[in-house]
Chains A and B, each alone.
Chain A
Amino acid sequence: MKILVCITNVPDTTAKIAFVDSDTKLNKTGIQFIIGPYDDYALARAVELKEQHGGTVTVLNVGEAEGEPQIRKALAIGADDAIRVNAEPTDSYFVAAQIAHIAQQNNYDLILMGRESIDYNSGVVHGLVGEMLGIPSFSPVMKLDIEGTTAKLAREIDGGKEYLEAPLPLVLGCQEPIAEWKIPNMRGIMTARTKPLQVVEPVAVEDLAINERYSQPAPKGQCKMIPVEEVEKLITLLRTEAKVL
């Protein structure tokens, strides 16, 4: 089985977000970058499926060279090889077009990624890739098993869970508890250094949307503390002041 896992290189969940160059660029100073947490689940499940069924796991990142430590980490976790499309990921459509282009040259049985990236939170790349390749896509997938050429999966739906069987190939957006995150061991880290990481140039995609500038939410006003002896006052305040009851 051939599995492609698409990973994003994103600021850590605890990172303080700020912008520079007249609010047109993320201030990367002091920010630690990580593999997208949802992508990390997808990668972990891919490695487990390879252990069960044999095959290969290829990691794909659309991003600049600064993301290579994260790609090496994915190789250390158990991917066999990696591809980096050397481009700044400008929007979902651009990224999806790069993934679809790579996928068209290789017959992957499964294309896994996180349900969304934690920088842009769009949750649309799996659907775009699926449509570009003309194959089904499902998200968010929280359970995945393969039997022959059929995937048995569970995905979260509004207020519940749905169990599905679908023929491969598929594109899946993943989330917990599809697998436990894996931490690379020393042997993995050593072998990752020599695993192939191919750098390819992007295919041209028309600019459909441009991020013009960034801004931050207005700071929250002071929190109004209510003495514990007067908790009932809260109800009045929510009614008359906040007007949310």
Chain B
Amino acid sequence: MSVLVFVEIDNGSIKKLSQEAITYGAEVARMINATATVLALGAADESALAQAGSFGATKVLHASDPKLTHENSMAYADVLVQAAHQEGSKVIIVAKSGLGDAVAARAAAKLKASVISGITSLPEINGNSFKVTRSIYTGKAFATVDIRSEIKILAIRKNAVEATETGNMATVETFSPALNDANFTAKVTDVEKSNAELSLTEADIIVSGGRGMKGPENWQPLLDLAKALGAATGCSKPVSDLDWRPHHEHIGQTGIKVAPNLYIACGISGAIQHLAGVNGSKCIVVINKDPEAPFFKAADYGIVGDIFEVLPRLTKAIEASK
């Protein structure tokens, strides 16, 4: 029996979000005296997949059929279920993401398993009792869930565990599932990828701008700070509504929810809908000229001042200290 971890692949390697999922799976495996097996789909480097061992996995099943290289939740769930049967897995872990949730959902329906998404910590396991804590109301609360189904599928939120590296290598085995044509009826006609090097959901540091930036032409100091920090950039809803920044940068209740180690908000007042998208962050810095901005109440560090003066000084300080 093993805990099965579905991982997402980007450019042949395991995504950072999925590394945490492997660590989580390995921890659960330890609790139930099992091992952790990783399922990787599509084109990937074998040596990169073996790195799964560093996060605690014993084995990697690699289904390398090129049909599986393109994200396809229907086909991925089908293959995941076949792997779960082969491994006798009763616990399946995915990283919470659009793809992770979709794969988890479709696999759950096939396995009549409960699927719990947004888990924030390791489970409490006592004999047959298996309880998890998940984030609800967009981070405003938590629920403790008693999972009763025999098979359990858990979608793990970022920072639920810290991905720790041991340097061990996992063995990589070829996995050859049956692929069902019915899962490949959709045709991808085009893909637009932003040229940002770092995706918001994977970034450790995010620098984000609001209406206080006063216009799209003023973004340079924010971009400079982000570059100095190796950070991704985000924005508030009004900014994306005004087309100052692209929609995929919109962080908040109806945008992307992020959970970086450090979130720096520049000229964002902190509407409750924005806070809902960032409340998983470890440390929040707010820079705003209005001392009454509600965001300061949710911040760890605050600076009341002119962002166009503060940002270049911060960038300089970081570069000087490198």
> Which A residues contact B (CB, under 8 angstroms)?
11, 13-14, 17, 19, 37-38, 91-93, 96, 115, 118-128, 130-132, 134, 136-140, 142, 152, 156-167, 175-177, 206-217, 220-221, 223-226, 228, 231-232, 234-235, 237-238, 242, 244-245
What is the bound-complex CA distance between A141 and B116, given in angstroms? 22
CB contact under 8 A between A160 and B194, given known A128-B105, A225-B304, A228-B304 = yes
- CB distance A159 to B248 under 8 Å? yes
- CB distance A162 to B141 under 8 Å? no
Question: Could you list 12 A-B pairs, sorted by A, with CB under 8 Å?
Answer: A120-B136, A122-B101, A123-B98, A130-B106, A157-B71, A162-B192, A175-B254, A211-B146, A214-B143, A237-B301, A238-B262, A244-B205
Main secondary structure of the interface of B (DSSP, over half): mixed
Main secondary structure of the interface of A (DSSP, over half): mixed
Within 8 A of A (CB), among B168-206: 182-183, 185-194, 196, 199-202, 205
Residues of chain B with a CB closer than 8 A to A167's CB: 185
Minimum C-beta distance from A38 to chain B (A): 7
Q: Which residue of A lies closest to B137 (CB)?
A: A17
What is the bound-complex CA distance between A83 and B292, given in angstroms? 46
Residues of chain A with a CB closer than 8 A to B303's CB: 225-226, 228, 231, 234
- CB distance A235 to B321 under 8 Å? yes
CB contact under 8 A between A121 and B113, given known A156-B248, A161-B192, A212-B144 = no
What is the bound-complex CA distance between A175 and B155, given in angstroms? 21
CB contact under 8 A between A223 and B300, given known A122-B101, A242-B283 = yes
Q: Which residue of A lies closest to B109 (CB)?
A: A131
- CB distance B188 to A124 under 8 Å? no
- CB distance A212 to B146 under 8 Å? yes
Minimum C-beta distance from A46 to chain B (A): 18
What is the bound-complex CA distance between A210 and B71, given in angstroms? 32
- CB distance B113 to A208 under 8 Å? yes
Minimum C-beta distance from A56 to chain B (A): 25
- CB distance B301 to A132 under 8 Å? no
A91-B114, A208-B113, A210-B146 given; 15 more Cβ-contact pairs under 8 Å: A14-B272, A120-B136, A121-B117, A124-B104, A132-B109, A137-B102, A140-B98, A160-B192, A162-B188, A216-B140, A217-B140, A226-B302, A231-B313, A232-B313, A244-B282
Residues of chain B with a CB closer than 8 A to A208's CB: 112-114, 147-149
